[in-house]
Amino acid sequence: MLDDFHKGLEPSTTTQDGSGLRILIVHTRWNSAIVQGLVDGAKKTMIEQHNVKPENIVIESVPGAYELPFAAKKLLEVSQIRAAEGASDLMGNVNLLDGLNLTSPTTTTPGSAPPVSGGAGAKRSRQAFDAVICIGVLIKGSTMHFEYICEAVSQGIMRVGLDSGVPVIFGVLTCLNEEQALSRAGLDKAGKGHNHGIDWGSGAVEMALLKNRTL
């Protein structure tokens, strides 16, 4: 074993300043207790380590992991339409989407900050999302369901990122049992696990900055 072997994500050597970024987290309600730990880890890391403004982190939920790619794609598109509308505003044009409530009403995450977008009349940000984190926990059962969902979700999430040009972080644990999932959310009884949400938060900021980089 190498002495300096670092298991997992090696931290970036450059400062990753996320103060100008807007990030979307889409998470599942399946396995919600574990998912909540991962969402909290990602959010806390983005705010405390990368200076992302709490009001620039939007959290939405879907039923299960299979729904993550669709939701990420749809919410990204809505944010891009809103941003284009904002640019149009500046040029004195008419807003075709005014009056439409295109975002889902609230985050359903217990204990998380109130939503910053959505709801008729709510003040909407004109900045499109710079990155998306899809968070879920798939636990293998006794049928082939797990394999099909894992394959579909991983392919779907990658496709949304490549098609949109906006980085989408694969924050989906694919575990053989609940113990593995608890450990990877830093929720194991022994306290030896690691919350992968931390890595996903840092990864989203790094990739968003990469997307916005002008060479």
Name the residues annotated as catalytic: 145
Q: 62 with 30: CB under 8 angstroms?
A: no
| Residue 105 touching ligand DLZ (CB under 6 A) | no
Helix (H, G, I), strand (E, B) or coil at 75: helix
Among 83, 139, 150, 187, binds ligand DLZ (CB under 6 A): 139
Residue where the block lists tokens 């690691």:
194
DSSP, res 131? E
| Residue 26 touching ligand DLZ (CB under 6 A) | no
How many C-beta atoms surround the C-beta of residue 55 within 10 A? 13
| Residue 169 touching ligand DLZ (CB under 6 A) | no
- Angle among Cα 136, 169, 180 to the nearest 5 degrees reads 40
| Residue 71 touching ligand DLZ (CB under 6 A) | no
Q: 40 with 197: CB under 8 angstroms?
A: yes
| Residue 28 touching ligand DLZ (CB under 6 A) | yes
Q: 62 with 108: CB under 8 angstroms?
A: no
| Residue 134 touching ligand DLZ (CB under 6 A) | no
* Nearest Cα to Cα of residue 153 among 28, 23, 9, 24: 28
Q: Which stretch binds ligand DLZ (CB under 6 A): 19-27, 91-99, 133-141, 190-198?
A: 133-141
Provide the minimum distance between the beta carbon of 63 and ligand DLZ in the complex, in angstroms, as a whole number: 4
Tokens read off for 84 = 């284009």
Among 138, 157, 185, 208, binds ligand DLZ (CB under 6 A): 138
Among 24, 40, 50, 66, binds ligand DLZ (CB under 6 A): 66
Provide the minimum distance between the beta carbon of 146 and ligand DLZ in the complex, in angstroms, as a whole number: 7
Among 11, 54, 63, 105, binds ligand DLZ (CB under 6 A): 63
For ligand DLZ, the binding residues in 30-59 under the rule CB under 6 A are 30-31
Distance, in Å, from the CA atom of 138 to the CA atom of 53, rounded to the nearest integer, reads 30
Q: Which stretch binds ligand DLZ (CB under 6 A): 17-25, 48-56, 102-110, 131-139?
A: 131-139
How many C-beta atoms surround the C-beta of residue 86 within 10 A? 15
Site residue total, ligand DLZ (CB under 6 A)? 15
Cα 5 to the chain's mean position, in Å? 28
Among 25, 52, 65, 116, binds ligand DLZ (CB under 6 A): 65
Binding site for ligand DLZ (CB under 6 A): 28, 30-31, 63-67, 136-139, 141, 145, 149
